Structure 1
Amino acid sequence: MKKSQDKVIISCAVTGSVHTPSMSPHLALTPDQIAEQAIDAARAGAAILHLHARDPRDGRPTPDPAVFDAFVPRIRDATDAVINITTGGSTRMSLDERLAYPLRAKPEMCSLNMGSMNFSIHPAARRIPEWRYDWEKPYIEGMEDLIFRNTFKDIGHILKVLGEGCGTRFEFECYDMGHLYNLAHFVDEGLVQGPIFIQSIFGILGGLGPDPENLVAMRTTADRLFGRDGYRFSVLGAGRHQLPLVTMAAIMGGNVRVGLEDSLYIGKGKLAVSCAEQVAKVRRILEELSLEVATPDEARAMLGLKGREATAI
């Protein structure tokens, strides 16, 4: 186990690219909404803000750097949180599109999916009685026949141009056991150095299921591959599995991620009104467990980040 005094890093994934406007009226779609939700989440205790962009006209995911520029600098000016820009984007974006803003911003952190995979929530389309925008239904149903692509060559390219080229460190998103082995391969190749931040993801169709046993298996496999002191472990649970799994992760010495990208709910059948509501709830749970929450600067130290002054944001 890591030292008992280690604090827990709360990451908040603000809007993502999976959920659509018809699924919740509280999902941030415009730059103003994304900025507001991110700033409030930081004030509630999130040390890291994981950010995607959406077209303000209809809420569809976009890689457009101009849209990112409409909210990322505002978040930087209003908080001291670590800004973490997606390199995943969506299954419909090319690698160049996904890297367009990260390469411009040179942020402290970026997310990095550690493999190609089926990634879908297409069964959710059956539960939506009415769609707000015409693009949503074919977008969700179309996931059934799409693959999120990150080949070894893609991952290596991202590690070189963003990691080596920009000094950006990564939230290594691992949706399956094999993704840990993919990460270990890049450690062996010398393209990844510690401290390593592993985000284990449970409950996405196409990845590991939300069974608690899978969390234990991912943790023990990461221990075997990297050594307990060679990485930082974090967990997100999709949908209704969010709070049980992140609580389990914290008890096991890990860190946590919440936010409307990962779950639209705050409790059974009750939509969360904001990302900050989820952050505040998980913070209460952590503190009731006598765990301390890391500040942004403490998270920077724990993860070996270059500091906000070294970015181009």
Structure 2
Amino acid sequence: MITEVFITCALTGAGSSVERSPHVPVTPEQIAQSAIEATRAGAAVVHIHVRDPETRRGSRDPALFREVVRRIRKSDVNPVMNLTAGVGGDLTLGGPESPLPPDPGKTDMAGALERLVHVEELRPEICTMDCGSMNWGAGSQYIMVNTAGTLRAMAARVKEFGVRPELEVFDTGHLVVVRDLIEEGLIDRRPLIQLCMGIRYGAPDDLTTLMALVHQLPPGTVYSAFSIGRMQLPYAALAPLIGANVRVGLEDNLYLSRGRLATNAELVQRAVEILERMGVRVMSPDEVREKLALKVHA
């Protein structure tokens, strides 16, 4: 067990959750305000996706990231900003019998450097990289695509930027990619890893699977663990028991309790309450910067 942790708040994601809750932020103003409120509630890190304000779908438009970051930086809080670099690997095939061409309305495939345009411009302290490909959704033709070659190119570029990658691990094979990146000198030997549990066709959220992942982490890894849906808040209690930090937020779960839709700030506040009742101290943004040796860019 560890006795101090940091909380990451994943604010909005890129999925269809906006159709199920009015609290999921969509516009840059809403996303920034939600980040500010989550920080005040106790989050040290805010994990940022952006959405097209008109379609409300996930986007990688650098202008939208720019506006969110600008608003947070001019506020009275100073969270560690973690920008996603996961968008741009979305492939939806045409169907079981006619996979090609892909569905043009649901496919967004971009090159490695194109997926990092906003990271290069804004230089957040952290950006996320999904460490492998996987099927997504029962009966769906959607594949989250992150080839080994793409990840190597992205890791090398992120290293040049002086940005710390957070490596999103959805299953055991993704840790093989992490180890390869370490051995090739593309990421730090003490990596920052997020264990993403409970996602269909990824690692299930049972304790046996979680501990199998924990036992395969490279030595010295700083890691967090979360589960989607109703297991999100139980994982806030579980995480420090297995040496992990905490992630909550509307990207992964919409509810504070059965039938009670949450805001990001409420999820963070509940996580803080859980942790403090366990005798676990919640770290501030500046403490996280020191712990992770983050580079603060102007």
Q: Give the TM-score normalised by structure 1.
A: 0.85
Partner AA of 2:193 in structure 1: I
The runs of at least 4 aligned residues of structure 1 exceeding 4 Å deviation read none
Check conservation: 2:205, 2:227, Cα contact below 8 A.
yes
Higher helix proportion (structure 1 or 2): 1
With over 3 angstroms needed to count, the CA separation of the structure-2 counterparts of 1:41 and 1:302, relative to structure 1, is same
Distance in structure 1 (CA, Å) of the matches to 2:291 and 2:190: 8
1:61 paired to 2:95: no
Query: Residue 288 of structure 1 corresponds to which residue in structure 2?
Result: 277
Query: Residue 209 of structure 1 corresponds to which residue in structure 2?
Result: 204
Q: CA deviation at 1:170?
A: 1.2
Query: Residue 101 of structure 2 corresponds to which residue in structure 1?
Result: none
Q: CA deviation at 1:235?
A: 0.6
1:304 paired to 2:293: yes
Structure 2 stretches lacking a partner, 5+ long: 91-106
Check conservation: 2:15, 2:57, Cα contact below 8 A.
no
Within the candidate set 144, 147, 153, 2:143 is matched to: 147
Query: Residue 255 of structure 2 corresponds to which residue in structure 1?
Result: 265
Q: CA deviation at 1:263?
A: 0.7
SS state at 2:108 partner? coil
Within the candidate set 148, 158, 162, 1:162 is matched to: 158
Query: Residue 34 of structure 1 corresponds to which residue in structure 2?
Result: 31
Query: Residue 19 of structure 2 corresponds to which residue in structure 1?
Result: 22
Partner AA of 2:164 in structure 1: R
SS state at 1:276 partner? helix
Check conservation: 1:29, 1:56, Cα contact below 8 A.
yes
> When the two structures are aligned, how many residues end up with a matched partner?
278
> 1:149-200 CA deviation, whole Å, 9 max, x = no partner?
111111111111112x100111110000111121011111111114311100
Structure 1 stretches lacking a partner, 5+ long: 124-143
1:198 paired to 2:156: no
Q: CA deviation at 1:68?
A: 1.4
SS state at 1:173 partner? strand
Q: Give the TM-score normalised by structure 2.
A: 0.89
Query: Residue 129 of structure 1 corresponds to which residue in structure 2?
Result: none
Q: CA deviation at 1:58?
A: 2.9
Distance in structure 1 (CA, Å) of the matches to 2:171 and 2:279: 30
Check conservation: 2:29, 2:71, Cα contact below 8 A.
no
- Aligned identity (percent) is 39
Within the candidate set 128, 134, 148, 1:111 is matched to: 128
Select between 98-107 and 45-54 the one with higher mean Cα deviation.
98-107
Distance in structure 2 (CA, Å) of the matches to 1:155 and 1:246: 29
Higher strand proportion (structure 1 or 2): 2
Distance in structure 2 (CA, Å) of the matches to 1:218 and 1:84: 23
With over 3 angstroms needed to count, the CA separation of the structure-2 counterparts of 1:304 and 1:190, relative to structure 1, is same
1:234 paired to 2:251: no
Query: Residue 88 of structure 1 corresponds to which residue in structure 2?
Result: 86
Within the candidate set 169, 176, 188, 1:181 is matched to: 176
SS state at 2:250 partner? coil
Query: Residue 7 of structure 2 corresponds to which residue in structure 1?
Result: 10
With over 3 angstroms needed to count, the CA separation of the structure-2 counterparts of 1:27 and 1:38, relative to structure 1, is same
Distance in structure 1 (CA, Å) of the matches to 2:276 and 2:241: 11
Q: CA deviation at 1:246?
A: 2.8
